Amino acid sequence: MTDSAPAVDLAGLIKTFGPVTAVDGLDLRIAPGEVVAFLGPNGAGKTTTVDMLLGLARPDAGTVRLFGGDPADAVRHGR
């Protein structure tokens, strides 16, 4: 981890459940201290995205980085 690492860095995130694509190629970068909100209709993939951020679900493709590490590192270090 470096001081310049984004708090959240999602690249090419894809998650499917059978024939349903819940998240389709999401790219998102959030800087430390930045405030964001996830808005969208039911079924837009908001909860699935947060689950992947927290390490509760694994993406089918793409990467999830929190403060320069993977979600398990962020949890282990109390981030």
Over the chain (79 residues), the average pLDDT of each successive run of 10 is: 80 97 97 95 95 94 94 83
CB 14 within 8 A of CB 23: yes
> Which residues make Cβ contacts (< 8 Å) with residue 37, sequence separation at least 6?
none
The Cα 65–Cα 7 span in angstroms is 8
What distances in angstroms separate CA 65 from CA 14, 25, 43, 47, one per listed residue?
A: 14, 15, 24, 17
Tell me if residue 65 falls in helix, strand or coil. strand
CATH fold of 8-73: Rossmann fold (3.40.50)
The Cα 53–Cα 62 span in angstroms is 12
- pLDDT value, residue 1: 46
- pLDDT value, residue 79: 75
- pLDDT value, residue 73: 86
